[in-house]
C-alpha cells in the first residue's frame, strides 16, 4: 500500500490547537477564582448558580476547550483524517466557544435572560460547527478503524449533549417555554460526562497510551465494543429516566462497571510499560484512573442513597469524575501532545528550509517542557483535588482548594506558554538559515 493521501497543506498550523490549549488554563483560573470568592456557599447543591457557573467554566472552558483543540490537530496525526480549512474553522470555533462559555457563566450568575440568549447563540453556533467539522473529518478518514469508529460515537455523544444543553438554555432564555428541567439536566450531565468526555478520552487513550507509554495495545474487543456499549447504555439510561421500571438501575450499574473496568485495564497496561523511566504523564494517568474507579463506586453507592442526595457529599462522584479523572488525563496528555506537536511542526519548518538541515535540530520532546516544572504542577493538581474532595466534608477547606487550583492552572498555562515560546524561537532560527 502506498499512501499519498496526506499533505502538509491540509495540516493545521500549530497556532490552531495552541490557541485552545493556552486559553484553557485561563478558564481554569477563572473557575478557581469563582470558587475562592463564593467560598463554602458554592457546591451547596448542584442547582446553585455559582455551582452551575463554575461547572460550565470548567467543563466547557477547560475540558472541551482542550479536547476541541486537540482534535483539530490530532485527527490528522492519529487517524489520518483531515479537517478542511482548519485555520478558519478552528478560529471561529475557538472564539465562539470562549465567548459562549463566558456568557453562560455570566448568565448563571445573573440569571439574566439576555445573557442566556447570548450564550445560546455563541455556544450553540460554536459547538454545532465543531460537531459538523469533526464529523466531516471523521467521514473522510482514509481508513475506518476502531479509533475512527470510537470518535464517531463520541461526536454523537457531543451532539446529544449540545442538543440537551441548548434545550435547557432555551428554558432559561425564554421562561415561558415548558422545559422539564430536572430530567433534562440529568440527561445533559450523563451524556456530557460519559457520552462525550469519557468516550473521547478512552478512544484517544487507545492511541496515546501505547504510543507514549510504550505499553501493550488495548485488546481489540474492548476497542471495538466499548464505545457502542457506552452509547447503548446511555440510551437505555435515558429511556429509564422517562419510564420507571424494576430494572432501571441496570444501565447505571453497567456504565459504572464499564468505566471502572476500563480504568483497571489501563492501570494494568501502565504496569506493563516498557519505559523504565516514569514521567509526569504517567502520574496524571494513574491519578485519573484511580479517580475514575472511585467515581464509579460513589455513583453506584449514590443509587442506593449513600450518601443522601441532599448531602454535599452527593457531589463526590461528579467531582471525582471531572477534577479527578477528566482533568488529570487531559492535563497529562497536554504534556505529551504539545511537545510532540512542537517537534512535528519544527520538522515541517525544516522541510520548508532545506538549508536548515544539519544546522538546526528540533529539541527532543523532553526538552520542550521542563519535567521538574510539570511535576510541580502535578503536585499542585493532586493537592487541589485532595482539598476539594475534603472540602465536601469540611467546607472550610474549599477556599484553600481554590487557591491551590488557581496556582495549578497558572503553572500549567506558564508551562504551555514556554513551549509556544520555544517553538517561535526555534522556528525563527530555522527561517534565518534561508
Note the residues at the interface with another protein (CB under 8 A). Answer: 1-4, 6-8, 11, 76-80, 210-212, 214, 217, 274-275, 336, 340, 343-344, 347-348, 351-352, 357-358, 362, 364-365
Q: How many CA atoms within 13 Å lie on the side-chain side of 288?
A: 27
The residue (of 77 and 92) whose beta carbon lies closer to another protein is 77
Sign of the dihedral through C-alpha 311, 322, 289, 285:
negative
Nearer to another protein, 167 or 344 (CB): 344
Distance of CA 140 to the CA centre of its chain: 24
The residue assigned the cell 469533526 is 134
The dihedral of CA 320, 44, 195, 300: what is its sign? positive
Q: Is the dihedral of CA 74, 92, 28, 48 positive or negative?
A: negative
How far is residue 407's CA from residue 428's CA, in Å, rounded to a whole number?
31
Closest approach of another protein to the CB of residue 376, in Å: 22
Kindly tell me which of 366 and 424 has the beta carbon lying closer to another protein.
366
Q: CB 74 → another protein: shortest distance, Å? A: 10
Considering the complex, what minimum distance in angstroms separates the CB of residue 391 from another protein?
38
* Among the listed residues 261, 224, 242, 431, the one whose alpha carbon sits nearest the alpha carbon of residue 346: 431
CB of 354 to another protein, least distance (A): 8
Rounded CA-CA distance 419/396 in Å is 37
Least distance to another protein from the beta carbon of 412, Å? Answer: 21
Q: What is the per-residue burial (b if ≥16 Cβ within 10 Å, else e) of 308-327?
A: eeeebbbbbbbbbbbbbbbb
Cβ closest to another protein, residue 188 vs residue 345: 345
Short-list 415, 383, 417, CA closest to 32: 383
The minimum distance between CB 245 and another protein, in angstroms, equals: 43
Nearer CB in complex with another protein: 176/364: 364
Q: CA nearest 74: which of 421, 348, 364, 340?
A: 340
Q: From the CB of 3, what's the least distance to another protein, in Å?
A: 6
Residue located via cell numbers 497558572: 410
Comparing CB distances to another protein, the nearer of 77 and 253 is 77
Of 1 and 271, nearer to another protein (C-beta) is: 1
Min CB(320)–another protein separation in Å:
30
Give the burial class of 80: count Cβ atoms within 10 A of its Cβ; 0-12 exposed, 13-18 middle, 19 or more buried: middle
Nearer to another protein, 41 or 352 (CB): 352
Q: How far is the CB of 8 from another protein (least distance, A)?
A: 5
CB of 365 or CB of 390, closer to another protein: 365
Nearer to another protein, 8 or 271 (CB): 8
Shortest Å, Cβ 359 to another protein? 12
Amino acid at each position: 500500500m502506498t499512501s499519498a493521501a496526506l499533505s502538509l497543506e491540509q495540516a493545521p498550523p500549530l497556532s490552531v490547537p495552541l490557541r485552545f490549549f493556552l486559553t484553557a488554563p485561563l478558564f481554569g483560573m477563572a473557575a478557581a477564582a469563582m470558587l475562592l470568592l463564593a467560598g463554602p456557599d458554592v457546591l451547596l447543591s448542584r442547582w446553585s448558580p455559582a455551582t452551575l457557573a463554575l461547572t460550565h467554566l470548567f467543563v466547557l472552558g477547560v475540558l472541551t476547550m482542550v479536547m476541541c483543540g486537540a482534535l483539530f490537530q490530532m485527527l490528522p496525526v492519529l487517524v489520518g483524517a483531515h479537517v478542511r480549512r482548519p485555520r478558519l474553522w478552528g478560529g471561529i470555533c475557538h472564539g465562539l466557544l470562549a465567548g459562549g462559555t463566558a456568557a453562560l457563566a455570566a448568565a448563571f450568575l445573573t440569571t439574566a435572560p439576555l445573557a442566556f440568549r447570548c450564550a445560546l447563540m455563541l455556544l450553540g453556533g460554536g459547538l454545532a460547527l465543531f460537531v459538523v467539522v469533526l464529523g466531516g473529518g471523521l467521514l473522510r478518514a482514509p481508513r475506518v478503524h476502531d479509533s475512527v469508529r470510537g470518535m464517531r460515537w463520541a461526536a454523537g455523544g457531543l451532539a446529544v449533549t449540545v442538543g440537551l444543553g441548548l434545550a435547557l438554555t432555551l428554558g432559561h432564555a425564554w421562561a415561558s417555554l415548558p422545559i422539564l428541567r430536572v430530567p433534562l439536566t440529568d440527561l445533559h450531565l450523563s451524556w456530557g460526562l460519559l457520552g462525550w468526555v469519557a468516550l473521547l478520552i478512552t478512544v484517544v487513550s487507545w492511541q496515546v497510551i501505547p504510543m507514549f507509554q510504550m505499553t501493550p495495545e488495548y485488546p481489540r474487543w474492548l476497542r471495538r465494543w466499548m464505545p457502542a456499549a457506552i452509547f447503548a447504555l446511555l440510551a437505555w439510561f435515558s429511556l429509564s429516566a422517562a419510564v420507571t421500571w424494576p430494572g432501571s438501575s441496570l444501565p447505571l450499574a453497567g456504565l459504572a462497571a464499564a468505566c471502572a473496568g476500563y480504568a483497571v485495564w489501563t492501570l494494568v497496561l501502565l504496569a506493563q510499560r516498557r519505559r523504565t523511566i516514569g514521567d509526569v504523564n504517567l502520574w496524571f494517568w494513574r491519578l485519573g484512573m484511580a479517580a475514575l474507579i472511585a467515581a464509579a463506586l460513589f455513583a453506584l453507592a449514590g443509587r442506593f442513597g449513600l450518601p443522601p442526595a441532599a448531602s454535599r457529599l452527593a457531589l463526590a462522584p461528579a467531582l471525582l469524575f471531572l477534577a479527578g479523572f477528566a482533568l488529570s488525563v487531559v492535563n497529562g496528555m497536554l504534556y505529551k501532545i504539545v511537545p510532540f506537536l512542537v517537534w512535528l511542526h519544527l520538522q515541517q519548518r525544516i522541510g520548508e528550509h532545506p538549508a536548515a538541515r544539519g544546522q538546526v535540530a528540533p529539541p527532543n520532546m523532553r526538552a520542550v517542557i521542563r519535567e521538574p516544572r510539570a511535576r510541580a504542577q502535578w503536585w499542585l493538581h493532586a493537592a487541589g483535588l485532595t482539598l476539594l474532595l475534603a472540602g465536601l466534608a469540611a467546607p472550610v477547606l474549599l477556599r484553600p482548594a481554590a487557591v491551590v487550583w488557581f496556582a495549578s492552572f497558572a503553572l500549567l498555562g506558564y508551562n504551555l506558554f514556554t513551549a509556544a515560546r520555544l517553538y517561535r524561537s526555534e522556528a525563527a532560527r530555522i527561517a534565518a538559515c534561508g
